[in-house]
Amino acid sequence: EKQGYKHFMLKEIFEQPARIIDTLRGRVSVERGEVNLPELALDEDAVKAIDKIVFVACGTSFFAAQVGRYMIEQHARIPVEVELASEFRYRDPIVSANTVVIGVSQSGETADTLAALREARALGARTLCVCNVIESTIARESDGVLYTHAGPEIGVASTKAFTTQLAAMGMLAICLGRLRGTLATEDARKLIEALREVPAEMEVMLRDMTPYEAIARQFSKAHSFLYLGRGNQFPIAAEGALKLKEISYIHAEGYAAGEMKHGPIALIDKQLPVVVLCPKNRVYEKTASNLEEVRARGGRIIAIGNEGDERLDQFADVVIRLPEAAEFVQPLISVVAVQLIAYHIADFKGTDVDQPRNLAKSVTVE
Active site residues: 361
Task: Name which of 59 and 299 has its Cβ closer to ligand M6R.
Answer: 59
Q: Which is nearer to ligand M6R, 99 or 165 (CB)?
A: 165
Residue closest to ligand M6R, measured at CB:
59
Query: Contact residues for ligand M6R (CB under 6 A)?
Result: 58-61, 105-107, 110, 113, 156-158, 246, 359, 362-363
Q: How far is the CB of 254 from ligand M6R (least distance, A)?
A: 13
Q: Which of 261, 260, 264, 257 is nearest to 230 (CA)?
A: 257
The residue among 153 and 327 lying less far from ligand M6R, judged by its C-beta, is 153
Beta-carbon contacts of 339 under 8 Å, excluding residues fewer than 6 positions away, are 13, 159, 240, 243
Provide, for the chain, the percentages of residues in helix, strand and coil under a 3-state DSSP scheme, each rounded to the nearest 5: 50, 15, 35
Q: How far is the CB of 140 from ligand M6R (least distance, A)?
A: 15
36 DSSP assignment: -
Whichever of 22 and 246 has its CB closer to ligand M6R, that residue is 246
CB 11 within 8 A of CB 2: yes
CB of 245 to ligand M6R, least distance (A): 9
HSE-CB at 31 with a 13 A cutoff on CA atoms is 0
- Cα separation values, 101 from 34, 196, 197, Å: 23, 27, 30
Min dist CB 55 to ligand M6R, Å, is 12
The rounded distance, in Å, linking the Cα atoms of 173 and 169 is 6
Residue 151: which residues within 8 A CB-CB, separation 6 or more? 15, 19, 22, 160
CA distance 333 to 32: 25
Where helices occur in 303-329 by DSSP H, the ranges are 311-315
Residue 300 beta carbon to ligand M6R: minimum distance, rounded to whole angstroms: 25
Helix 330-349, helix 160-180: angle, nearest 10 = 170
Classify residue 193 as exposed, middle or buried by CB count within 10 Å of its CB (0-12, 13-18, 19+).
Answer: middle
Closest contact distance (angstroms) between CB of 312 and ligand M6R is 28
Indicate the residue among 327 and 347 with the shorter CB distance to ligand M6R. Answer: 347
Q: Of 178 and 245, which has the nearer Cβ to ligand M6R? A: 245
3-class DSSP assignment, residue 83: strand
Q: What is the DSSP letter of 15?
A: T
DSSP labels for 218-238? HHTT-SEEEEEE-GGGHHHHH
Closest to ligand M6R by CB, 67 or 294: 67
Give the residue from 147, 191, 185, 175 showing the smallest Cα distance to 46: 175
Residue 67 beta carbon to ligand M6R: minimum distance, rounded to whole angstroms: 14
Three-class DSSP category at 155: coil
